[in-house]
Every structure is written in structure tokens, then in C-alpha cells.
Amino acid sequence: MELWYTEEHTDNVRFSIKVKEQLHSEKSDFQQIDFFDSNEFGRFFTLDGLMMVNEKDEFAYHDMIVHVSMATNPNIKNVLVIGGGDGGTVRELTRYSSIEKIDMVEIDERVVRLSQEYLPITASKLDDPRVSLYFEDGVAFVDGLEKAYDLILVDSTDPIGPGEGLFSKAFYDNCYRALTDEGILVNQHESPYYERDAKEMKRSHSKIKKLFKVSKVYQFHMPTYPSGHWLFGFASKKYDPLKDADLEAWNKLGLKTKYYNTNIHIGCFMLPTFAQDMLDEV
């Protein structure tokens, strides 16, 4: 018997992974959570049937959500991670000894606990003494905060489902206020390729670019996400990631990374024309 996990990337496109074993399945208060083991991608987990993290390509996502802004402003001390229940984003952050405080706000505690059990590769650093975990709605967490963080990383699911509020203008407005004058916001920015994802990409960009002095979008290759072509948003009150980044200083830190490097830092902002056009028109 063969067991396959299938995700519908669109109504007409499917992506399947042959599954060795289903490790866990439960319905939390917020979503359906499933953990699998596979030959090709190792362990992976899905929320409401959608691929979140797997052992084989998680490095691309977690390198790129963290290191671009850390290389842009090496003085980042206080970081807020919204979502990111698998812990991979926090893991990358903990590699910087300069960071003093990491608050992670994840709405679904079960995602964190199950990741600690089944995906230690990403969840292993959640017990770092600088890390505080808050299990609540990130939308409500940032209400009323003022200049509290140098960096906010929005490591969210897609806008349909529990992640919806994390794509709202109210949330971005309140993040803006929660950031210091040098603050940077990086958010999961969907993809330009398939129509539904592209629509959300444009909606998100149109909201953020009205708020921040600097608002750019950068790309990375994420083989298990629809089309493999995925984006993060980079928005900042002060720093331009291309002009202001001190890449030499970052290289001197000597961090060993598997995806990010300082050439990618520049290159990832160079988008293909069709994607750049879509972003320019909003």
C-alpha cells in the first residue's frame, strides 16, 4: 500500500509527497494539525492540509526570514516573532548574541508543543533564556504597543484561516506603531505565480507600502510551497536593505548558513519582471 500526502496548489494543480508514516493528527482549537515522515522531505507538518515546514527545505525559509534584516541592521536587540510555531525562525535569531529579547506570539500552543516533539530540528531553541512564548492572537498582542521592538517577523500561514488577521491593515498599522524609529517589519508575502497567491501578495504590499518609508519585496526558492517561488516583504522606517546593509560586518560574524549569503542579500531583491510589474501596479 502506498500513502501519499496531496496538497492542492490550485484547483487544477496538485503536489504530492509519498508518506512513510503519519506521526500525529489532531484538531486543535484553531486548525487541523498533521505530522508526517517521508523519504524525500523527512519529517513535515501541515496545517489544515497545507505544507508548513519540512526537514529538507525549512532552511531556505528560516534563513531568509531572519538574516536579511539582521544584516541590514546589526543593532537589532528586541525582536517580536508573530506565528512561527515550529520554532525555526527563533532558532535562526538565537544565533545572534547581539539580540537581547525574542518574544514569540503563536496563537496555537499545540503547534509549538507538537513541533517540540516531532521537529526538534526547528523547535530546539525555544528554550533559549532570551525567548518568551505567548500563546495568543498576534493581532491583539500588538494593539497599543509603542516603539517596543526593533524587528517584527510575521511568520504566518496564508491569509485564509487563522492567519487572516495577520494580513490586515489594522495589524500592519499597529506593527508600525510597535516598532522603534529604526524598526523593520518582515512578513510572509505569498507568491506572484498562481492567481490566488498573487492576489494576496498584491493586497499585502498595497497596505504596507503606504505605511513605511522603505517597502520592498524579496524572493527565495521554497520547493514545497505552491510554484516554489515565494516572497517576503521587507518594510522599514529607516533602513534600505540594499543601500544601508553592512554586508562585510555580517560576513565577519562567521555565521554558517545554508541558503542566505551576502550575494543573495542583494540578488533576492531583484525580482523577475512579471512579479515586479504586479507589485508596481498596486
Partner 1 sequence: MRRHDYQLDHTRLPLYNALQDHIDSRVIPFDVPGHKRGRGNQYLTEFLGKSVMAADVNSMKPLDFICNPISVIKEAEDLMADAYGADEAFFIVNGTSQAVQSMVMSAVSEGDTIIMPRNVHKSVINALILSGAIPHYVYPHIEEDYGMVTGMSLEDVKKAIDQAPHAKAIFVINPTYYGVVSDLESIIKLAHEHDMHVIVDEAHGAHFPFHDAFPYSAIALGADMVASSLHKTGGSLTQSSVLLLNNGRIKRNHVKTIINLTQTTSASYILMTSLDLTRKYLVDEGEKVFDKVVSLAKNARDKINQIDGLTAFDIDSFSKKACYGFDTAKLGINVTGIGLTGLNVYEILRDDYNIQIEMGDAHNILAILSIGDSDKEVNQLVSALFAISNNYRKEPLKLEFKHFSATDVKLSPRQAFYSEMERLDLKDSVGRISGEFVMIYPPGIPILAPGEFITSEIVAYIELLKKENGTLSGLEDTNGDYIYCIKEV
CB-based contacts of 267, cutoff 8 Å, min separation 6: none
Q: State the nearest-atom distance from the C-beta of 172 to partner 1, in Å.
A: 8
Contact with partner 1 (CB under 8 A): which of 56, 101, 177, 196? Answer: 177
Interaction between residue 131 and partner 1 (CB under 8 A): no
What residues from 148 to 167 belong to the interface with partner 1 (CB under 8 A)? 162, 164-165
Interaction between residue 142 and partner 1 (CB under 8 A): yes
CA pair distance 250, 71, nearest whole angstrom: 6
CB-based contacts of 145, cutoff 8 Å, min separation 6: 174, 177, 178
Q: State the nearest-atom distance from the C-beta of 144 to partner 1, in Å.
A: 6
Q: State the nearest-atom distance from the C-beta of 107 to partner 1, in Å.
A: 8
Count of beta carbons in the 10 Å neighbourhood of residue 183? 27
> Alpha-carbon Rg of the chain, whole angstroms?
18
Q: DSSP secondary-structure letter at 14?
A: E
Q: Specify the long-range contacts of residues 219-223, CB closer than 8 Å, at least 24 apart.
A: 219/268, 219/271, 219/275, 220/60, 220/61, 220/64, 220/259, 220/268, 221/60, 222/57, 222/60, 222/61, 223/56, 223/57, 223/60
Contacting range for partner 1; rule: CB under 8 A; set: 37-45, 64-72, 81-89, 142-150: 142-150
Toward partner 1, which CB reaches closer, 83 or 88?
83
In the chain, beta strands by DSSP E? 3-10, 13-27, 32-38, 42-47, 50-54, 78-83, 101-105, 131-134, 149-155, 179-188, 214-221, 229-236
Interaction between residue 168 and partner 1 (CB under 8 A): yes
Q: State the nearest-atom distance from the C-beta of 110 to partner 1, in Å.
A: 16
Count of beta carbons in the 10 Å neighbourhood of residue 248? 9
Contact with partner 1 (CB under 8 A): which of 137, 150, 155, 197? Answer: 137
Interaction between residue 143 and partner 1 (CB under 8 A): yes
Toward partner 1, which CB reaches closer, 46 or 174?
174
Interaction between residue 268 and partner 1 (CB under 8 A): no
Interaction between residue 169 and partner 1 (CB under 8 A): yes
Toward partner 1, which CB reaches closer, 60 or 166?
166
Copy the grid coordinates of residue 113: 508543543
Contact with partner 1 (CB under 8 A): which of 171, 230, 232, 239? Answer: 171
Is 155 tagged catalytic? yes
Catalytic residue among 155, 173, 246, 280: 155
Which residues are catalytic, by number?
155
Which parts of this chain interact with partner 1 (CB under 8 A)? 137, 139-140, 142-144, 162, 164-165, 168-171, 173-174, 177
